[in-house]
Amino acid sequence: MDYIPIIFLVFIIFFFAIFLSLWFSGVFTTNSKPIGPTGNNQDVKNDIAILMPPSVWSAPNTTSTCSIYNYPITNGTFPYVTNNADVVITLQSIPNSRCYYSNELALGATYQICNADVCLDDLGNTYTKGEKWNYYQICGTSCYTNGSYLSTVILAKGSTQFSQKAVANTSGGSNVTLLNPNLEDSNQYHVIMRYSSSSISKTNATGHMCNIKHYTTGMYLTVTSNTLSYTKTIPTKPLWLMVPSTSLGGIAQSQKLVYIGNIPSNTIKSNPTLLEYYNLVEQYNLLAITYGTNIIMEPALNSVETSFSYSTQIVDLSKYYTMLNATTTDFPYYRWTQVGLNF
């Protein structure tokens, strides 16, 4: 009798039995860590460390009080506003006693410690474990959120007959001077304070009414004998209405600043319709700024065609070049500021 096939079959059965025993003992499978209360505490901690690794950086530590840093406008160019420490240490600053404008930032000196073998800051610089990253962190409040912003007031924007002129106060008195727009001339700067109602108790970033305060003298832009002028008298209500470019009877209407100083406080709604606006113009003989050979206060909805050939732009400093080098047609519904008026 040939025993070789029988012996071969026994060996196969033997090795198969060993394989099965090893399989069920887990030799050929990946052990999963215990879950829940039956698990080892260290296993649970290790799992958490994998899913939620410790922060690469420590929590921020502020080492100075909040200050407002001014980024100077040089060579007629709006600055690149950054919190890079190498830039900030070269800037002039004032205590954080107000909101900041588009060419400013409210910052506080801050540091964080690297907790990993290698860390990267927001500029791509590398740090090793224990090294300190020094930078400046934004603090304070932006003026835009409060409905206030720094701007220039440009007349005759887009006019083919007259060049653009900026409203300025060069004497510190009541007279308005028209100058060629210049971003480096702070005499042309104005603070626009917007309101959504006739109350000036609180500014509002979406308001259509406003007061215009000269940046360096603190005087307010007003109208005297149908002519622009400055006054030291603090307005008790909004003096101006910002009117969008739209149309009336098919005639394109320029963007205008309309003087509403003589209207009772509760007369104007927060966002008047064109019909309501027209009725206000007729009832109160509202005036709008235009610029010819001199400053002119035209009736806001005068049907004379020349009244529509001029326009007014309140140009935020950060939008200065975009607006000054473009026609009104390119921006028929210019938003006035970076936060926007959505007509």
Q: Is residue 122 part of a domain?
A: yes
| DSSP string across 211-266 | EEEETTT-PEEEEETTEEEEESSPPSS--EEEEPSEEETTEEE--EEEE-TTS-TT
CATH classification at residue 152: 2.80.10.50
Q: Are residues 95 and 229 in the same domain?
A: no
Indicate the pTM of the whole model. Answer: 0.74
Same domain, yes or no: 111 and 158: no
Domain membership flag for residue 54? no
The b/e string for 23-42 (b: 16+ C-beta within 10 A; e otherwise) is eeeeeeeeeeeeeeeeeeee
**123 with 228, same domain?**
no
Residue 192 maps to a domain:
yes
pLDDT, one tens digit for every residue, the chain (343 residues):
556 666 666 566 666 666 556 555 554 444 444 444 455 666 665 665 555 556 789 999 988 899 999 999 888 888 888 888 889 999 999 999 999 998 999 999 999 999 988 888 888 889 999 999 999 999 999 998 899 989 998 886 656 667 778 899 999 999 999 998 888 899 999 999 999 888 899 998 888 889 999 999 999 999 988 889 999 999 999 999 887 665 555 555 556 788 988 888 778 877 677 677 778 888 888 888 877 767 778 777 654 444 444 567 788 888 787 776 766 555 543 433 333 333 2
Q: How far is CA 158 from CA 127, 149, 164, 315, 323, in A?
A: 52, 23, 8, 13, 10
Determine the Cα–Cα distance for residues 91 and 79; give it in Å rounded to an integer. 12
**Cα angle: 165, vertex 158, 212; to 5 degrees:** 50
| Cα 308 off chain centre by | 31
Distance of CA 71 to the CA centre of its chain: 16
Based on the fold, state whether residues 169 and 124 are members of the same structural domain. Answer: no
Same domain, 103 and 247: no
**Position 5 in a domain:** no
Same domain, yes or no, for 137 and 183? no
Dihedral over alpha carbons 315, 319, 322, 323 (to 10 degrees): -10
Q: Is residue 88 domain-shared with residue 169, that is, in the same domain? A: no
Task: Show the domain range for 88.
Answer: 61-141
Query: In this structure, is residue 164 part of a structural domain?
Result: yes
